[in-house]
Amino acid sequence: MILEDRIQADVSTWRERVNRLTKEHGDFVISNVTVSQIFSGIRGVPIQVSDISYVDPEKGIRYRGYTINEILSLLPKLPDTNYPLVGGVYHLLMGNELPTMEKALAIENEWKNRSEVPDYVFRIIDSFPENASTMAMYSAAILSMSSDSKFSKGYHDSLRKEDYWKAMLDDSLDLTARSPQIAAYIYNKKYRNNEQIGPNKSLDYAANFAHMIGKGDDPLYADLMRLFILLHADHENANVSAHTAHLVGSALSDIYLSCSAGLNGLAGPLHGLANQECFNWLLDLYNTYQGVPTKQQVTEYIQKTLDEGKVIPGYGHAVLRCIDPRFEAERQFAEKYFPDDEYFRTAMVVFETAPDMLKATGKVKNPWPNVDALNGTLQYHFGVTQSDYYTVLFGLSRMLGFTCHIVWARALGKPIERPKALTTRLLESMIAEEKKQEATK
Ligand code: HAX
């Protein structure tokens, strides 16, 4: 299998590099953690090393060292399409190599061969109450496939530790192959009167998803999904969802248990749910002024949101200190294909207004838009108007990143994660002790 061969070719070199770092530089101090870092969500504390992707605060995400613009231009594209094959993205992230068209297609084919979803998964989705959130359904559906895990079976048989990653990779390909149909099933169940559309194996990963949610007639929507999946595939391994998936995987939980846990983190409003909140906020802004608002009206509306103690969704970031290049890529897509879309124009007036207002608060560290500022607007344009589904689209994409980090963690033999928790009293006495020692100097 192409990805197994690719990883196998590199894995001993990576293991040597990691072993050398721990053996020769194990005592090297990377950072001293402050009390305020602990109380502010372990902010900025390096907690692990992963080479799949890295968020450069000033330039945005890099996949295996490549910027979003480089990836968009270098990865193979099918004829008559404008955005790369998802199979190529996975090859780059998992295999650490820019793929040829042949290799990208080999992964697309691998997915087609593994795409059959067991019937019990659909029954689990069907058993949810009508008001269930789409993310709860999606996460449960992924979780339910744990019983199919080849890693779990191998672990309880006689799989050797150095081969764990091979079984994890096998499971990862199954999971990522099945996931689009599961996501589509949820969409059709909730929003298309349960009119299900089966997969079309002549289509690539993104176009097949578009087809399964009833958007097969519009080739531009397939291109949007190629772009969307590419942009959301990974964002470093320390954000809430990726880190959760990694943490659970570190206990040698299988890929389904780990990715379901990651999705639950993604479902939070400060993380993946922001894309739906952002669009709802934008829609409300548009409806309040019954059309594309002026800059003055947007200023009033943002002020009202801030006065209510709420955040401006789609703006700010825990790590980025620049305009998110993923926002830029989405902006370019909309400007090219539907510059006059009224929701897009509304989003652009917000873009002209929000950063200065956020800077003026004096506390927002990054006043610039993140990817969520436009996600919903693009989907809405193509008739995917159900904002409570947008986080599922994010999850479908992010599963690529989750699985890459987990496979490589097993390939490099990363141990179970177990940081340390202190008590308030312990912390107070550590500080008091330090002060006492300083006074006696
Ligand atoms: N609007 C208003 N206030 C904001 C803000 C925004 N967009 N972004 C940050 N702030 C506020 C924070 O609430 C915080 O205020 P308090 O000190 O009163 O609590 C202050 O500015 C400092 O925050 P920060 O250090 O700049 O930002 P954080 O790292 O704490 O938080 C967030 C990063 C992304 C959670 C934050 O910017 C936010 O809530 N943004 C809006 C929601 C959003 O767009 N989330 C999606 C982020 C991308 C992502 O992960 N997608 O999955």
Q: What is the pLDDT of residues 326-348, one digit of tens each?
A: 999 999 999 999 999 999 999 99
Average pLDDT over residues 287-294: 98
Residues 35-67 have pLDDT tens digits of 999 999 999 899 989 999 999 999 999 999 999
| pLDDT for residue 275 is more than 90 | no
**pTM of the complete model:** 0.96
For CATH 1.10.230.10, list the domain ranges present in the chain: 274-387
265 Cβ below 6 A of ligand 1: no
Domain 111-271+388-411 falls in which CATH fold? Citrate Synthase; domain 1 (1.10.580)
More confidently predicted of 78 and 441: 78
Least trusted range by pLDDT, from 208-217, 240-249, 268-277, 366-375 = 268-277
Average pLDDT over residues 182-194: 98
Contacts of 220 (CB under 8 A, 6+ apart): 337, 382
The band of 269, judged by pLDDT with boundaries at 50, 70 and 90, is confident
Query: Phi/psi at 101 (nearest 5 deg)?
Result: -60, -40
| pLDDT for residue 377 is more than 90 | yes
Give the residue, out of 363, 393, 396, 402, with the most ligand 1 atoms within 8 A of its beta carbon, to mutate for a pocket test: 363
Average pLDDT over residues 394-408: 98
Cα distance between residue 410 and residue 416, in whole Å: 10
Contact 288, 301 (CB under 8 A): yes
Q: Closest Cα to residue 4, out of 134, 111, 94, 118? A: 94
| pLDDT for residue 296 is more than 90 | yes
Burial degree of 180 (CB within 10 A; 0-12, 13-18, 19+): buried
55 Cβ below 6 A of ligand 1: no
Q: CA 177 → CA 115, 117, 146, 273, 422, distances in Å?
A: 5, 9, 15, 24, 42
Residue 317 C-alpha to ligand 1 middle, in angstroms?
Answer: 6
The strand pair at 60-63 and 53-56 is best described as: antiparallel
Cα distance between residue 189 and residue 183, in whole Å: 10
Average pLDDT over residues 143-157: 97
Q: What percent of the chain has pLDDT over 90?
A: 96
Q: Closest Cα to residue 44, out of 54, 33, 35? A: 33
| pLDDT for residue 274 is more than 90 | no
The strand pair at 53-56 and 66-67 is best described as: unpaired
The per-residue b/e assignment along 80-101, b for 16 or more CB within 10 angstroms, e otherwise, is ebbbbbbbbbbbbbbbbebbee
| pLDDT for residue 309 is more than 90 | yes
Q: Closest Cα to residue 390, out of 369, 405, 373, 404? A: 373
| pLDDT for residue 192 is more than 90 | yes
Q: Is 372 a catalytic residue?
A: yes
Contact 85, 76 (CB under 8 A): yes
| pLDDT for residue 366 is more than 90 | yes
Residue 313 C-alpha to ligand 1 middle, in angstroms?
Answer: 8
Least trusted range by pLDDT, from 6-15, 216-225, 269-278 = 269-278
The band of 393, judged by pLDDT with boundaries at 50, 70 and 90, is very high
Residue whose CA lies nearest to ligand 1 atom number 8: 316
| pLDDT for residue 270 is more than 90 | no
Q: Residues 91, 211, 235, 317: which is the catalytic one?
A: 317
359 Cβ below 6 A of ligand 1: no
| pLDDT for residue 358 is more than 90 | yes
Residue 399's pLDDT is what? 98
Residue 315 C-alpha to ligand 1 middle, in angstroms?
Answer: 7
Closest-lying ligand 1 atom to the alpha carbon of residue 314: 44
Residue 422 C-alpha to ligand 1 middle, in angstroms?
Answer: 26
Residue 349's pLDDT is what? 98
Residues 218-229 have pLDDT tens digits of 999 999 999 999
Q: Is the dihedral of CA 224, 218, 182, 98 positive or negative?
A: negative
Region of 354 (left: φ > 0; alpha: ψ -120 to 50; beta: rest) is: alpha
Closest-lying ligand 1 atom to the alpha carbon of residue 240: 50
Give the residue, out of 42, 135, 315, with the most ligand 1 atoms within 8 A of its beta carbon, to mutate for a pocket test: 315
Residue 394 C-alpha to ligand 1 middle, in angstroms?
Answer: 19
| pLDDT for residue 162 is more than 90 | yes
**Which class does domain 274-387 fall in?**
mainly alpha
Average pLDDT over residues 360-368: 97
Residue 441's pLDDT is what? 83
372 Cβ below 6 A of ligand 1: yes
Count of Cβ atoms closer than 10 Å to residue 124 Cβ: 17
Residue whose CA lies nearest to ligand 1 atom number 20: 364
Residue 367 C-alpha to ligand 1 middle, in angstroms?
Answer: 9
Q: Closest Cα to residue 32, out of 362, 434, 432? A: 434
For CATH 1.10.580.10, list the domain ranges present in the chain: 111-271+388-411
Average pLDDT over residues 90-106: 98
Q: Residues 174, 254, 324, 372: which is the catalytic one?
A: 372
